[in-house]
Amino acid sequence: MTPVLVTEKLVAGYGEASVLSGISLTIPEGRTLALLGRNGTGKTTFVNTLAGVTTYHSGSIRLLGRDITRLRADRRAAAGIGWVPQERNIFKSLTVEENLTAIARPGVWDVERVYGMFPRLKERRRNLGNQLSGGEQQMLAVGRALMVNPRLLLLDEPTEGLAPIIVDELLAAIRRIVEGEGMSAIIIEQKARKILPLTDDAVILDRGAVVFQGTSTDLLADETILGQHLGVEKGARH
Ligand SMILES: Nc1ncnc2c1ncn2[C@@H]1O[C@H](COP(=O)(O)OP(=O)(O)OP(=O)(O)O)[C@@H](O)[C@H]1O
C-alpha cells in the first residue's frame, strides 16, 4: 500500500538558514508518529515544512504517492494535510459552528461527528472563538482540521499550556481519532510518556536530524534513550 507520507532528505528552514538537515521519514497508512525532541530541535519546523510554510531548500515530500514538495500551503490542505499549528489559528470572531463549517470539505467528518468527538464544542456551538477556554480552543482547532477530511493530521503540541484534566480529555479524544478512526497523524508532544502509549511509531529529532526512529513501545521501554535525548527520568510522569 502507498504510504501516506514519505519525505526524502528534506532540508528546509527560514530564509537561507537550514533547520532540517535531511529528514527521511515514512508514515504508512493508518499509523501515527510521535515526534519528540528537546526544545529547538526542529519539530515544529518539520511539521510546518509539511504544511508548506517554511523555506524549502532540497529533498522531497510525497503525500499518498503525490509529490507535494512545491505545492502552496492552501493546496496542501486540499491534497489532504490537516494542520493544527502551535498557535491554534481559530477564527476568534466566528462562532464555534462557523469555525467548523468555514473550511469544511466533504467526507466522513462533518459537524455532528466532530461534536460527537468533542461534546464540549456542541455545548459551546454558538459561542465566539474568543469566548472559549484554552482547552476548548484546542478542541476546536482539532475539530476544524478534521472538517477538511485530511489523510494526514499534523498536531503541534496539542496539550501545551492546558490544565491536566483537559490534557487527559484531549488525549482521550486524540486516541479515539487515531485508533478508532484509523487516522494517520504526526503528533508533536513534550510529554513523551503521555503520547507514546497513543502512537505506533516514534522519532526523536536533535539539531534538525533524526537520532531515534522505532516503535513507540520500544522507545517507552528504553530508559537510556529517553534520558539521553529527552531528559525523561525513570518513573517520571512526563
Ligand atoms: N520563524 C523562524 N525564523 C528563524 N528561525 C526560526 C523560526 N522558527 C524557529 N526557528 C529556529 O529553528 C530552530 C528549530 O525550531 P523549532 O521551533 O522547529 O523547534 P522545536 O523542536 O519545535 O522546539 P519547541 O519545542 O521549542 O517548539 C530553532 O533554532 C529556532 O530558533
Expressed in angstroms and rounded, the spacing between residue 42 Cα and the centre of ligand 1 is 6
Expressed in angstroms and rounded, the spacing between residue 151 Cα and the centre of ligand 1 is 26
Weakest-pLDDT range from 25-39, 50-64, 180-194 = 180-194
C-alpha cell at 149: 477530511
Q: What is the pLDDT of residues 211-225, one digit of tens each?
A: 999 999 999 999 999
C-alpha cell at 102: 468555514
Expressed in angstroms and rounded, the spacing between residue 30 Cα and the centre of ligand 1 is 28
pLDDT grade for 87, boundaries at 50, 70 and 90: confident
Residue 199 has pLDDT above 90, yes or no: yes
Which pLDDT score is estimated for 8?
A: 98
Q: Rounded to two decimals, what is the model's pTM?
A: 0.94
The ligand 1 atom at the shortest distance from the C-alpha of residue 42 is 18
Stretch 227-233: mean pLDDT: 82
The pick from 10, 16, 19, 38 for probing ligand 1's pocket by mutation, whose C-beta has the most ligand atoms within 8 angstroms, reads 19
Structural domains in the chain, CATH included, are: 5-83+150-230 (3.40.50.300)
Which pLDDT score is estimated for 235?
A: 60
CA-to-CA distance for 211 and 46, rounded, in angstroms?
A: 14
Residue 122 has pLDDT above 80, yes or no: yes
Expressed in angstroms and rounded, the spacing between residue 58 Cα and the centre of ligand 1 is 18
| 181: Cβ contacts below 8 Å, ≥ 6 apart | none
Could you give the residue ranges of the DSSP H alpha helices within the chain?
43-51, 73-79, 96-102, 111-117, 119-123, 134-147, 164-175, 192-195, 216-221, 223-230
The pick from 10, 45, 160 for probing ligand 1's pocket by mutation, whose C-beta has the most ligand atoms within 8 angstroms, reads 45
Expressed in angstroms and rounded, the spacing between residue 46 Cα and the centre of ligand 1 is 10
Q: Regarding predicted confidence, which is higher, 181 or 43?
A: 43
User: Pocket residues for ligand 1 (CB within 6 Å)?
Assistant: 14, 19, 37, 39-45
Q: What is the pLDDT of residues 177-189, one digit of tens each?
A: 998 888 999 999 9
Stretch 42-59: mean pLDDT: 97
Cα 203 to its chain centre, rounded Å, is: 13
The ligand 1 atom at the shortest distance from the C-alpha of residue 37 is 21
- What average pLDDT does the chain have? 93
Expressed in angstroms and rounded, the spacing between residue 40 Cα and the centre of ligand 1 is 5
Which pLDDT score is estimated for 237?
A: 55
Residue 154 has pLDDT above 70, yes or no: yes
pLDDT grade for 148, boundaries at 50, 70 and 90: very high
Stretch 67-94: mean pLDDT: 92
